[in-house]
Amino acid sequence: MCRNILSFVSSSVEARSRIKVAAAVIVQGNKYLVTQRGYGAYKGFWEFPGGKIEAGESAEDAVVREIREELCVAIEVEKRLGTVEYEYPEFHLSMECFVCRIVSDEITLREHDGAQWLHADELNSVSFLNADVEVVKLIQGAGR
């Protein structure tokens, strides 16, 4: 009986989809850009903007492309902040996070309902997606 249960649990975990994304921790002065999701099951929650890494694309290239598509700005990746692994009920998320800065254009929200610039000590004032809560911990741990 135990063997069958372990086999079922193992196959369920393997069947769960794994999504690889890149997120931009955009810094301007001593503030961070956070955006409010405008669609889907997690609409209304706050996040660090970014998106899926496409086949054959590096995480750095993905974050630059996604920010251009979502916010209509050009960014420069300054450094890698870290990776967040988070288990949502529907999927496993692997999120590569990069500290970035805007190098041209003004922000235009194409997929988000809102955006805010927050100091590190204000990041806990919004309702982040669970994986993004882990990004906040990375930021606060890095002392950036």
Predicted TM-score (pTM) of this structure = 0.86
What percentage of residues in the chain have a pLDDT greater than 70?
A: 88
Q: Among the listed ranges 10-24, 26-40, 78-92, 110-124, which one has the minimum average pLDDT value? A: 10-24
Cβ count near 28 (within 10 Å): 10
Q: Among the listed ranges 7-11, 12-16, 43-47, 86-90, which one has the minimum average pLDDT value? A: 7-11
- Asked if 50 and 21 touch (Cβ cutoff 8 Å), the reply is yes
Alpha-helix runs per DSSP H in 25-58: none
